[in-house]
Structures are given as C-alpha cells and as structure tokens.
Amino acid sequence: MEPPPGTAVEPELRHVEKDVLIPKIMREKAKELCSNQVQAFTKCCQETGFLMVVKCRQENAALKECLTAYYTDPAFYEECKTEYLKEREEYRATGIPAKRRQQKLPTST
C-alpha cells in the first residue's frame, strides 16, 4: 500500500541493522564523546593493576553514566541511524564499504 503523497517514507531496517549495526555506531561515537571518562578509567586501571575493581569504582561509574546517557537518548539513536542509512545508501550505490572508501586512493606522481 502506497503512503499518501508528500508523506516521508521511513526506510525499512532489518533486525540486524536495528539491534547490531546501529548500536555499534552508537557505542563507537559514545566512546569518542565520553573520551575524558574513558581516559580516566583506563589510567586508573593501568595504575592500580589487579585492584582496579575496587580502586576504580568512581571512574567506572562516571564512564557508565556518560555512556548510558548516550545509549538511552532517542535523538542520539536517530543521529546514528541517519549516519548508518547514509553509509548503507553509499555502499549500495558504489559497492565499496565505508572503511575502504575512507582509505587514501593511490595517486600517480
């Protein structure tokens, strides 16, 4: 059944896209956006070794809080979904995965 004229058509997403691929983009972007907390937790773990479970609770809690804020934000999900759909559209048009498109192409000099 066709949608009424002028109505935006929501692209169909497969289960794996909704539950795996888009969340993967969300995790990668959230890690970048929470880089201060990631660095603090990493530094604490490196400095304390085996006692990190006990000694790095505060850094771990701050990191989890930051990441969870992004994971549960519907606007952030939509942003990542839009990014995924753009990558998917480019792949379908070119047949080249995004990672390979971003590599430098050889030039003749």
Domain range for 42 is 16-91
Arithmetic mean of pLDDT over the chain: 86
62 lies in a domain?
Answer: yes
57 lies in a domain?
Answer: yes
Q: Is the pLDDT of residue 67 over 60?
A: yes
DSSP-derived letter for residue 50 is: G
Query: Burial level of 17, CB count in 10 A (0-12/13-18/19+)?
Result: middle
Q: Is the pLDDT of residue 99 over 80?
A: no
104 lies in a domain?
Answer: no
82 lies in a domain?
Answer: yes
The domain tally of the chain equals 1
Average pLDDT over residues 4-25: 80
Higher pLDDT, 50 or 83: 83
Q: Is the pLDDT of residue 58 over 80?
A: yes
98 lies in a domain?
Answer: no
1 lies in a domain?
Answer: no
pLDDT tens across 23-32, in order? 999 999 999 9
54 lies in a domain?
Answer: yes
Residue 95 pLDDT = 86
49 lies in a domain?
Answer: yes
Q: Is the pLDDT of residue 75 over 90?
A: yes
User: How far, in Å, are 26, 54, 68, 75, 97 from residue 84 at the CA level?
Assistant: 10, 38, 20, 14, 12
Residue 12 pLDDT = 86
